Amino acid sequence: MIVDKLFSQVATKGHVCLGLDTDYNYIPREFSDKYVSVGDAIYNFNKEIIDATHDIVACYKVQIAYYESYGLEGLKAYSNILKYIKKKNSLSIADIKRGDISKTAEMYAKGHYTGDFEADFVTLNPYMGINDSIEPFLKFIQNNEKGIFALVRTSNKGAKDFQYIKNEDNTPLYETVGEKIENLAQNYMGNCGFSSIGAVVGCTNNEEGVILRNKIKSVFLLIPGYGAQGGKAEDIATYLINGNGAVVNSSRGILLAYKKENDGEKKFAYYSRKEAIRMREDIRSHI
């Protein structure tokens, strides 16, 4: 199961998931001016970051919207980045947040588990229902060594509009979704004790996190919200089980670390590595 590979990466490299949510404007001008096209500049910027960090991060999350916004050129860069991550023997999470009726979901699964956009994991929105939004992806988990991270409780302010609505038993909707994901996860367990069916759970709201984690113990977590959104390393520890079972995403915090340094534009990849190590050790110090 792909989750065993991710578990091993966390055990050896730490919990950092580096988000390659790369806007062209993030790239130092001196570097981007070397390239004729926006797509080439974005690809090569990311390539430098990957080369500098692949030995100290567990995986890479590539948010497709940043590439779609540049049209075909951006999508070519997106495809090439996923291929380069694989070439470096690292794991990729395609942050696509798809959620649709079953036949459409089947096409999304084919499109992001095979071919030009192939990734190891994808993010999915399960709120249209398990049978429609999740089930078409399951055959790839079993047969093609793939995984998913389903949105359960996110870290954005708008999460409370719907995810926190309570039923007659006073249970918030996100807990109900989490329990359904946990039940499904049992069918796709790895040797590491976690499932290739994972969940996206924001690291804010620590007391809620304890309750939720106790209900989804088999589910590997992708955790956003660290740093800029207020999540702290001590919050992360709440979601870990024996020091593993989750990766923690940081995008701009790592990609733009160079902006804090006087010589940052010339050494952006070095400062991304330095920030990723700082984050890794921050999390480890609270386990």
Residue whose pair of structure tokens reads 């534009």 in the numeric block = 265
Strands (E) in 127-271, as ranges, are 147-153, 195-201, 219-223, 246-250
Dihedral, CA of residue 140, residue 222, residue 279 and residue 231, to nearest 10: 170
Residues carrying an active site annotation: 97
Vertex 49, ends 263 and 121: CA angle to 5°? 150
For residue 129, the 8-state DSSP code is: -
* Tokens matching residue 209: 């996190």
CB-CB neighbours of 228 under 10 Å: 10
On the 0-12 / 13-18 / 19+ scale of CB atoms within 10 A, 100 is middle
Per DSSP, the residues of 61-121 read EEETHHHHTTHHHHHHHHHHHHHHHHHTT--EEEEEEE---HHHHHHHHHHHHSGGG--SE
Q: What is the CA radius of gyration of the chain?
A: 18
Give first-to-last CA distance, the chain, whole Å: 26
